[in-house]
Amino acid sequence: MEKILHQPLGGNEMPRFGGIATMLRLPHITAPEQLDTLDVGFVGIPLDIGTSLRSGTRFGPRQLRTESVMIRPYNMATGAAPFDSLSVADIGDVPINTFNLLDAVAIIEREYDRILGHNIIPLTLGGDHTLTLPILRAMHKKYGKVGLIHVDAHADVGDHMFGEKIAHGTTFRRAREEGLLDCDRVVQIGLRAQGYTAEDFDWSRQQGWRVVQAEECWHKSLAPLMEEVRERVGGGPVYLSFDIDGIDPAWAPGTGTPEVGGLTTIQGLEIVRGCLGLDLVGCDLVEVSPPYDTTGNTSLLGANLLYEMLCVLPGVKYR
Ligand code: MN
Ligand code: MN
């Protein structure tokens, strides 16, 4: 089949509040022969049984789609025209087992093996942060060790949660132990608040990772930081994992484990836009919990960050 440059449904073809909710009002594509023609796929993972405090991220993918309806094709700030060169679609949700986290993790890995088998760059709508581990496992099979840009209030490097080795707060320790990451090319941004011990963030530093605590980001543009980040993580495949709680709860309250003193919406945009030029092989936006998102602003920001991720993928045309 020929590659088709799918376009978001325009606001004059169907009202923005009408029609079936897909990410960016793109077509929903699932047929294998059509998946082969795609460059990029938005994938939902309605997972929340890996959370430790407030739940609700199972509703994240649907709400991100709902809040994506205002997003128009052309990026007026950066000049990106993603739909002029890339074939993009919403490829639906992963049918997780919501009664068994380990089985859900196995299902996610299988689904990403399949998606990567179609040579699709996945942009994932979470879902809690547990889901990044099986995605990284699938990425490792295709690309080997990847670099990582991880935006989060938390390091997510706990050894266990309530005795469980897999949960949303252990993801990056497991990824490290399993050899999925290129430790010279890992950066964590936005970490803050309190630890169980005073050394909590040092485990990451001991792996050779660059840790940028939130305080290092306060009161300034992150464009210079992203120059350093590109320098550090470039030179190989990179995965971007963006936990919405990296952003301050003033802008993104709809999440399960909020922490004060976080990044601004503008800094979030600077981080994603600062990834331009990297060999991004996949991105996720996790931990949006619609029951706590009473204004819809958290989902709206999440949807926009996913659009910005699309805009910095390899092969995007700039006007
Ligand atoms: Mn996280
Ligand atoms: Mn977090």
Closest listed residue to residue 106, CA positions, set 93, 94, 90: 94
The CA distance from 123 to 255, in Å, is 19
- Is residue 250 one of the residues assigned to a domain? yes
Left if phi > 0, otherwise alpha if psi is -120 to 50, otherwise beta: which for 296? left
Distance 252 CA to ligand 2 centre (A): 12
- Is residue 17 one of the residues assigned to a domain? no
CATH of the domain at 145: 3.40.800.10
Left if phi > 0, otherwise alpha if psi is -120 to 50, otherwise beta: which for 179? left
Lookup: tokens for 2: 């020929």
pLDDT of 13 over the 90 cut: yes
Question: What is the overall mean pLDDT for the chain?
Answer: 98
- Is residue 44 one of the residues assigned to a domain? yes
- Per-residue confidence (pLDDT) for residue 216, from 0 to 100: 98
- Per-residue confidence (pLDDT) for residue 250, from 0 to 100: 97
Ligand nearest to the CA of residue 192, numbered in listed order: 2
Residue 233: CB partners within 8 Å, gap ≥ 6?
147, 148, 149, 185, 186, 187, 278
Q: How many domains does the chain have?
A: 1
- Per-residue confidence (pLDDT) for residue 1, from 0 to 100: 87
Ligand nearest to the CA of residue 191, numbered in listed order: 2
Yes or no: say if 85 and 4 are a contact pair by the CB < 8 Å rule: no
Distance 273 CA to ligand 1 centre (A): 20
Across-strand partners of 212? 189
Lookup: tokens for 39: 């460059």
Distance 36 CA to ligand 1 centre (A): 31
72-112 per-position pLDDT tens digit: 999 999 999 999 999 999 999 999 999 999 999 999 999 99
Distance 87 CA to ligand 2 centre (A): 31
Q: At which residue do the structure tokens 């530093």 appear?
A: 205
Ligand nearest to the CA of residue 154, numbered in listed order: 2
Distance 124 CA to ligand 1 centre (A): 14
- Is residue 18 one of the residues assigned to a domain? no
Return the percentage of the chain with pLDDT > 70, whole number.
Answer: 100
Distance 136 CA to ligand 1 centre (A): 14
Strand ranges, E, within 20-86: 40-45, 80-81
258-295 per-position pLDDT tens digit: 999 999 999 999 999 999 999 999 999 999 999 999 99
- Structural domain including 210 reads 23-318
What dihedral angle (degrees, nearest 10) is formed by the CA atoms of 206, 207, 210, 215? -50
pLDDT of 146 over the 90 cut: yes
Ligand nearest to the CA of residue 252, numbered in listed order: 2
- Is residue 15 one of the residues assigned to a domain? no
pLDDT of 254 over the 90 cut: yes
